[in-house]
Structure 1
Amino acid sequence: MGEAVASALAEMARRDGAAAEMARQALDTLAPERNLEQLNQHTVQRFCWLELPARFSQEERRPAIRALADLFSLLQLHRYAQVCSSQETETLLDVYEEEYGAGLVMYERLMWESGVEPPDLPELTWGMVVGDAEIRARQETASALELAIALGDVRPGKRGWRPAQERFARSFLTRPGDGGLSHLDRIREERVRGWLNSPAHPYRRQLWPLVGQIIAGAEVPRSAHIATAPLQRLLDLADDGIALTQIGYLSPVVVRQMCEDFGWRTSPEPPRSETDVTQLIALHQTLRAMRAVRRSGRRLVLTRRGRQLREDPEALWQAATESVCRTGGLEQAAAETLLGMLLSRTPQDGADPGRRESDADAAERLLTSSGWTFPEPQAPGRHAAAHRKAAEAASDQVRAMVTAVCWLLEALDLLTPDDGSGYRELTDLGRVFAIACLHKSAVAPPAVV
């Protein structure tokens, strides 16, 4: 292909030396090594609609893009020549000249409408910070979509084209490749390993023994509806609207009804308020975190997402597992540490009374030993007292966050009963839930720093 490019540039130079030079500059930006075998429609569109306006002056843009179109025509790459000379490209360049921000908005719309932009899927949201496996997967998915469009399997702009595009992309990304691993498998493995090695989250290194389970994740179990029954019940009640107290707690009638339905013991009994039932506190907070419910006056009602989750038990399980470890900051660190600790417990831990720490004590110890530091006294007197107070507050905060996750696990009946020491273990269904929680946290797109 290098010889073909050189020959085409020489032919252009015989006709118009300035145009040949502009084509060479554009091509060197688009494909620095002139490896046109790796070129696809997505790459050409990105260059014409995003990179060229950013790298070339207004006076150079149109001559450069016309020259590049001529070069592609000489190379028999007519689809790419059409991108360069299309009315969409001409209009977009006009928009950039008037307002660069408006040009970026139009660029994103045109990329999506073209059909070659790999779509986000429920099992994969493309990231901004990516590794080699994800770069390759996105490039090859874009090339596969280009071919599907050329063959008429995906028809952008026609009715039903977006679901067809998603089905095609999912099929391509989940197709086993070398070693039996699909692109989706490789992306997940890459993200999990990066997640475990994150220098900003040193506590995750203690989760390395679980790496295989975190990469694999867990399918929604057949008994998921048993665990999510309390969430389902609250969604059912919210469909008609749940009365709230003046300060926003669930009405005492609903509180007592939920305790009776699920056999929750409280103190006092019967409970007077939502604050007397730790399980309800956790469930209410979880539904809000899932954006399944909202407050409307003095009632708790379903959102559109809440109505969808109410009708789909599998989606409700997925949403619940996603909500636990996607909170950010110390709250997320506490949740991930707790779940990893519970998953790592062995029968020997439970048999030795000396190793039976409470969940809060164990999670705080693990966070501290992994490098998460709390304020230490730095000076005598009044300053030392202030530092000790800050350290105690930070410790209490970790305990509160760990306890909140435990309340949710208890509400979903995913923990064994407390033996009096605060030591619990995950049930079989609880292990599936915990693995799913860590998997969703690990394979989510890395945050842009």
Structure 2
Amino acid sequence: MERSQPELAEEARTAVEWLTGGEPLETVTQLDVCEFLWYTLPIKVGPLKPGGDHERLARSLGRLLQLGGLERYAALCESPTTLHILRTYAREGEDAGTSAYQQALEATGVLPPDVPELQWSMIMGPEELGAHLACSAALELAIVSGDSVDRTALTRRWLTEPRAELGGDSWLNRVHGERLNRWVLGRGPARRELAQPFEVRLHAPVSPQPLPALHRLLSLAASEGSLPLRLAPSPEAARLRELAERELGAISRDGSRLAITDYGRRLLKSRRAMWSAVTRLLLARGEHEFEVSAREAALMLLADGTLMSPAKLHERVAEVVGGEGWHPTTGVEDVAGPVNDLISQLTALGLAFGDELAVRMDRPGQLAALAALRAHALRPRKYISSS
């Protein structure tokens, strides 16, 4: 190419360096090419201008890929889709271009979808990136082979089956291990010390447990059609009603009565669904991150069934959260609110005993704590919007 088309050779060399990152050209996949052409090239390589450098660079890369026998990838470089996306970036800006890129990438069929076992992160570690690329390559091969492709089923199989190249391990285990390790190595030495023993304990999923108190409430609402809004027999019962209505959405107010919702009926039919909904609630994502950190620390401190006074629990949580760098003077008054609310949830659900003198989780509560911590540790990493 340097002899036949010297004016394109330098541009092609630049494009290949960006595309491969120094790896052999033979290792490139369709996903690599699409992400380079539709995102890296217009965002990171050179200035944006209509009909200019980016389209020429894409054509130069296409010529080189064609010479290398990668005709299918070469065709992408001059495809109408690529031209449309590059011109959208140049004329309408980054947001419009990124939207066009995401739509086009989804349409290729080689983008691994989220599956029940794993939601992909926006910010991937090395193991997750390896898993994502491996799944994409498997999808690409199936499409090129002319097979009918169930993307979800193929991705699940590729993630969960033991793989020889991983020494018999699975990609899912690798990704989970990476996320757990990142979670353990979070902010502050006190938190790391507290979280360290959980890295191994949280690898295996926790079997769903029965939740008798919530099940009774929903069963009663379902069997009678609705519950009268009379005074609850205890503070725990009142808190359970509030939790079921306002936090879970399992019951709703209907005049002077509480009626079960469609979602509540689904929870009633499935122990797994009810368990998942309740354990997610213990570290709800919608709360301020400081509050989630305080609740997380409290769950770790109580997860072994340790009997602890509320005052001591507040003190220990403040030590852990204060060391995470939220505020140098974090004290018990800062963590008391979220920790007390967590304890009220646990006692209402029958997962813990708590009064003014002591707090302690029973065995189902300990398992709920582990399930909540595991779900929180394995959550996908997302970009934080400033809007």
> Could you tell me the TM-score, scaled by structure 1's length?
0.72
1:188 paired to 2:124: no
* Distance in 1 separating the partners of 2:259 and 2:84: 46
Match of 1:446 among 381, 384, 387: 381
Distance 1:286 1:198, change over 3 A: farther
1:23 corresponds to? 12
* Distance in 2 separating the partners of 1:120 and 1:201: 33
Distance 1:343 1:176, change over 3 A: same
Match of 1:32 among 21, 37, 54: 21
**How many angstroms does 1:170 deviate by?**
0.9
2:362 corresponds to? 426
AA of the residue aligned to 1:207: A
* Distance in 1 separating the partners of 2:316 and 2:377: 19
1:70 paired to 2:63: yes
Distance 1:132 1:34, change over 3 A: closer
**How many angstroms does 1:75 deviate by?**
1.2
Percent of aligned positions with the same letter in both sequences?
29
Any idea what SS the aligned residue of 1:224 has?
Answer: coil
* Distance in 1 separating the partners of 2:62 and 2:116: 37
Aligned pairs for 1:6-17 (under 5 A) are 12-17=1-6
* Distance in 2 separating the partners of 1:448 and 1:299: 42
Distance 1:224 1:113, change over 3 A: farther
Distance 1:203 1:301, change over 3 A: farther
Any idea what SS the aligned residue of 2:362 has?
Answer: coil
Match of 1:333 among 280, 288, 293: 293
Aligned pairs for 1:97-176 (under 5 A) are 97-100=90-93, 101-155=95-149, 164-176=150-162
Contact 1:343 1:434 in 2 (8 A): yes
1:320 corresponds to? 278
**How many angstroms does 1:241 deviate by?**
7.2
After superposition, the CA RMSD in angstroms is 3.3
**How many angstroms does 1:47 deviate by?**
0.7
Rg bigger for which structure? 1
**How many angstroms does 1:122 deviate by?**
2.5
**Residue ranges of structure 2 left out of the alignment (5+ in a row):** none
AA of the residue aligned to 2:360: R
Larger helix proportion of the pair: 1
Contact 2:206 2:371 in 1 (8 A): yes
1:435 paired to 2:365: no
**How many angstroms does 1:340 deviate by?**
1.5
**Residue ranges of structure 1 left out of the alignment (5+ in a row):** 1-11, 156-163, 244-250, 260-265, 267-276, 347-355, 375-386
1:352 corresponds to? none
Aligned residues between the structures: 371
Distance 1:232 1:169, change over 3 A: farther
**How many angstroms does 1:304 deviate by?**
7.1
* Distance in 2 separating the partners of 1:43 and 1:398: 46
* Distance in 2 separating the partners of 1:113 and 1:369: 49
1:365 paired to 2:315: yes
* Distance in 2 separating the partners of 1:402 and 1:234: 30
Distance 1:90 1:287, change over 3 A: farther
After TM superposition, the structure 1 stretch with the greater mean CA deviation from structure 2, 26-35 or 322-331, is 322-331
AA of the residue aligned to 2:126: D
AA of the residue aligned to 2:379: A
* Distance in 1 separating the partners of 2:374 and 2:301: 15
Deviations 1:247-298 (A, max 9, x none): xxxx32xx54xx5xxxxxx2xxxxxxxxxx2343255346544466677998
AA of the residue aligned to 1:407: S
**How many angstroms does 1:105 deviate by?**
0.7
Distance 1:188 1:147, change over 3 A: same
> Could you tell me the TM-score, scaled by structure 2's length?
0.83
AA of the residue aligned to 1:25: T
AA of the residue aligned to 1:425: M
Contact 1:343 1:426 in 2 (8 A): no
Contact 1:69 1:81 in 2 (8 A): yes
* Distance in 2 separating the partners of 1:302 and 1:92: 48
